[in-house]
Chain A
Amino acid sequence: MTVEQWTYLIVGLSFALYIYIGYASRVRDTKGFYVAGRGVPPIANGAATAADWMSAASFISMAGLIATLGYDGAIYLMGWTGGYVLLALLLAPYLRKYRKFTVPDFVGDRYASQTARTLAALATIFISLVYVAGQMRGVGIVFSRFLAIDIAQGVLLGVAVTAFFAILGGMKGVTWTQAAQYTILIIAYLIPGVALAYLLTGNPIPQLAFAFSDISERLNQLQTDLGFSEYTAPFQSKSMLDVLAITGALMVGTAGLPHVIIRFYTTPDVRSARYSAFWALLFIGLLYTTAPALAMFARYNLINTLHGKPMEQVRQIDWVAKWEQTGLLKLVDKNGDGVVQFAKGKAFLEKSGKPDFNAPDRSNPNEVYLDNDIIVLSTPEVAQLAPFVIALLAAGGLAAALSTASGLLIAMSSAVAHDLYYRVFNPRAPERLRLLVGRLAMVPALFAAAYLGINPPGFVAQVVAFAFGLAASGLFPAILSGIFDRRMNAQGAIAGMVIGLGFTTVMIALMRAPQLFGAPEPYLKDFFGISAEGIGIVGMALNLITALVVSRLTPPPPAHIQEIVDSIRIPRGAGEALEE
């Protein structure tokens, strides 16, 4: 069988599985639709959370990003895992105890304020929309790379499958599909990871090979010889302050992302919410500790295979020829000596953020262009694995993108249908109507996702920083104070959210002006050395300080609100039937 036939077969089977699970777990009430009937065991919820969390970018691009950044890639590794400690210790158990459906539910009730509820719902919708655009794009890219299907058709196929299990099964369908998707994506990631580790170091366990093989020494030596800084040396592309700020903003942002938080509403009790956070991070950690190993091995292997070799000979290698055709890898003989030179600097000049393959950048000797995605996508061929592994990788990339997209759809539809429609506009809506509105709310969300996937605004990657910034500076502090500060009132929380969200929005707009408004230069380079990716942590601090000061200058919250706070602090009673 050819690679293409294998890919059709494995991707087809995985889609059939998702559709079957979606049909088998169809729901009839809002409790099933929004929180999977609160019947999901901790391990299953952990797997679902891991798939929900790990996006197309984590699966396909992260290892390549780390390979380029070296040590500094740790901002993503720590930033996207450390947030789960905050989530598990500070938010998840208490939000689960509150027994409601959404994040705005808690914010609105705790501060007895429709303004706070609406603000939280709008932040949820915006964050999820930004995020989902990237996922659908990822679906399209996987289809076009592996199956030569047009990106637009690929996106539509992905949207159709997601629509089926999300509309029919709501959170229940999404949860069990995500658990299946985790299984597929982790197998697809580990097989090439293990094979490459064994091939290059003789040790099949990537995490052990990372520490105990001599690859890091050899890579450092290789990099120094070629004029790069050492791979393991910190702060080569970002300052220490910026690394601290970005890591912090990504951690706090992770803990404040609505589609992640609502996963913990689906467990049967508070205890299972705590344990499912453990399982989630364990499952995420499996991929996140493999990625830096893959990054290091692949970078070593690429330099070793390409540098100093005759260009004609290199182009005979199967995977080099294949990936050069797709534009993920490009060689250019700048000095005409017929030998590949790997060096510091860009191989090609850039045109609107993309390399222009007709215009070699002659200011440096580097003759190799590498796209971040190639590190993961090329491993099966580099490690000479059977064609079905390449097919599995395609299915894994799709699983990562679809699982994240479906979690985001639930978060968006619940913010529209439950928080805005039912809690703000029509509190008397009967159960059946609420379920119908919940399902209908997915349709515009799906259309938006499809549109943004097919016509991606140039700034999708840039505004992901925005999603984390808003989650960190708006939602996280409001929830945190709601649980840990009994004295926090509506005035304080709203003032904090307005200041935090406002500051972060303005800063990101100023720093990302070229991508957002096409300005020739950013209006602001950085904020005292902190870049747009890390600014959310400053926004969060401003939010907390403002909220604290304003709340102490205004009257304390009423007694019944303080009772809510007392009750969510105690696990007992989380399973009771007192649902909205």
Chain B
Amino acid sequence: MKSESPLRAYWRANVRLIATLLTVWFVTAYGVSIVFAPWLNQFRLGSTPLGFWLAQQGSIYVFILLIWIYARAMDTLDRRYEVHED
């Protein structure tokens, strides 16, 4: 049996990672894509207003990336705390 504390540490590290990534998620979706979209629309990506582009394209790319980063980071965490399978 492992002692209690490494598992607690694993969970804390996991929750910290989740909190960081969800902050990015929140700012992407509600911050730049909605609340600041009217202001960001004065800038352009290519020839498309930036706020509009973020809301209809950019945010989706960020979401995909966030899940990939989480899966990769958890591979490392699982191995470091020896809770991975096989």
Contact of A85 among B38, B49, B63, B78 (CB under 8 A): B63
Residue of A nearest to B4 (CB): A566
- Give the distance in Å from the alpha carbon of A573 to the alpha carbon of B2 in the complex: 14
Say whether A217 contacts B47, CB under 8 Å. yes
Q: Is A160 at the interface (CB under 8 A from chain B)?
A: no
Number of residue pairs spanning A and B whose beta carbons lie under 8 angstroms apart: 148
B85 vs chain A, min Cβ distance (A): 5
Say whether B84 contacts A572, CB under 8 Å. yes
Say whether A71 contacts B56, CB under 8 Å. yes
Residues of A within 8 A of B60 (CB): 77-78, 81, 285, 288-289
- With contact pairs A88-B71, A572-B85 given, residues A271 and B63 touching in the complex (Cβ less than 8 Å): no
B7 vs chain A, min Cβ distance (A): 6
- Give the distance in Å from the alpha carbon of A285 to the alpha carbon of B59 in the complex: 10
Binds B, one of A107-115, A227-235, A392-400, A439-447: A227-235
Say whether A232 contacts B48, CB under 8 Å. yes
A490 vs chain B, min Cβ distance (A): 23
Q: Is A571 at the interface (CB under 8 A from chain B)?
A: yes
Query: Chain B 37-71, CB within 8 Å of chain A: the 1/0 string?
Result: 11001000111110111011101110110111011
Binds B, one of A139-147, A204-212, A409-417, A449-457: A204-212
Say whether A271 contacts B57, CB under 8 Å. no
Residues of B within 8 A of A240 (CB): 34-35
Residues of B within 8 A of A74 (CB): 33-34, 55-56, 59
Residues of A within 8 A of B46 (CB): 211-213
Q: Is A575 at the interface (CB under 8 A from chain B)?
A: yes
Residue of B nearest to A292 (CB): B56
- With contact pairs A247-B29, A274-B70, A570-B7 given, residues A234 and B52 touching in the complex (Cβ less than 8 Å): yes
Residues of B within 8 A of A269 (CB): 85
Residues of A within 8 A of B27 (CB): none
- Give the distance in Å from the alpha carbon of A281 to the alpha carbon of B74 in the complex: 18
B56 vs chain A, min Cβ distance (A): 4
Q: Is A84 at the interface (CB under 8 A from chain B)?
A: yes
Say whether A81 contacts B18, CB under 8 Å. no
Say whether B85 contacts A271, CB under 8 Å. yes
Residue of B nearest to A275 (CB): B71
Residues of B within 8 A of A77 (CB): 55-56, 59-60
- Give the distance in Å from the alpha carbon of A484 to the alpha carbon of B14 in the complex: 11
Say whether A244 contacts B34, CB under 8 Å. yes
Q: Is A515 at the interface (CB under 8 A from chain B)?
A: no
B62 vs chain A, min Cβ distance (A): 9
Residues of B within 8 A of A282 (CB): 64
Q: Is A574 at the interface (CB under 8 A from chain B)?
A: yes
Residues of B within 8 A of A210 (CB): 48, 53, 56-57
Residues of B within 8 A of A73 (CB): 56
- Give the distance in Å from the alpha carbon of A282 to the alpha carbon of B61 in the complex: 9
Residues 243-258 of A at the B interface (beta carbon under 8 Å)? 243-244, 247-248, 251
Residue of A nearest to B81 (CB): A570
Contact of B59 among A82, A212, A217 (CB under 8 A): A82
- Give the distance in Å from the alpha carbon of A484 to the alpha carbon of B63 in the complex: 22
Say whether B67 contacts A571, CB under 8 Å. no
Residues of A within 8 A of B7 (CB): 566, 569-570
Residues of B within 8 A of A234 (CB): 34, 37-38, 41, 51-52, 55
Residue of B nearest to A574 (CB): B85
Residues of B within 8 A of A248 (CB): 30
Residue of B nearest to A231 (CB): B52
Q: Is A149 at the interface (CB under 8 A from chain B)?
A: no
Contact of B49 among A90, A232, A278, A571 (CB under 8 A): A232
Contact of A243 among B34, B47, B49, B68 (CB under 8 A): B34
Say whether A271 contacts B30, CB under 8 Å. no
- With contact pairs A247-B30, A271-B85 given, residues A569 and B11 touching in the complex (Cβ less than 8 Å): yes
Residues of A within 8 A of B85 (CB): 269-271, 571-575
Say whether B68 contacts A278, CB under 8 Å. yes
Q: Is A580 at the interface (CB under 8 A from chain B)?
A: no
Q: Is A317 at the interface (CB under 8 A from chain B)?
A: no
Say whether B33 contacts A570, CB under 8 Å. no
Say whether A216 contacts B52, CB under 8 Å. yes
- With contact pairs A85-B63, A216-B49 given, residues A78 and B18 touching in the complex (Cβ less than 8 Å): no
Residues of A within 8 A of B45 (CB): 211
Q: Is A549 at the interface (CB under 8 A from chain B)?
A: no
List 11 A-B pairs, Cβ < 8 Å: A210-B57, A212-B47, A233-B41, A234-B52, A247-B34, A271-B75, A271-B85, A285-B63, A292-B57, A569-B10, A572-B84
- 20 further A-B contacts with Cβ under 8 Å, apart from A66-B56, A232-B52, are A73-B56, A74-B33, A74-B55, A78-B55, A78-B59, A82-B25, A85-B22, A85-B63, A85-B66, A90-B18, A211-B46, A214-B47, A216-B48, A247-B29, A269-B85, A278-B67, A281-B64, A289-B57, A289-B61, A571-B78
A residues within 8 Å of B by Cβ? Answer: 66, 71, 73-74, 77-78, 81-82, 84-86, 88-90, 93, 207, 210-214, 216-217, 232-235, 240, 243-244, 247-248, 251, 269-271, 274-275, 277-278, 281-282, 285, 288-289, 292, 484, 566, 569-575
**What 3 pairs across the A-B complex have the smallest Cβ distances?**
A212-B46, A74-B55, A232-B52
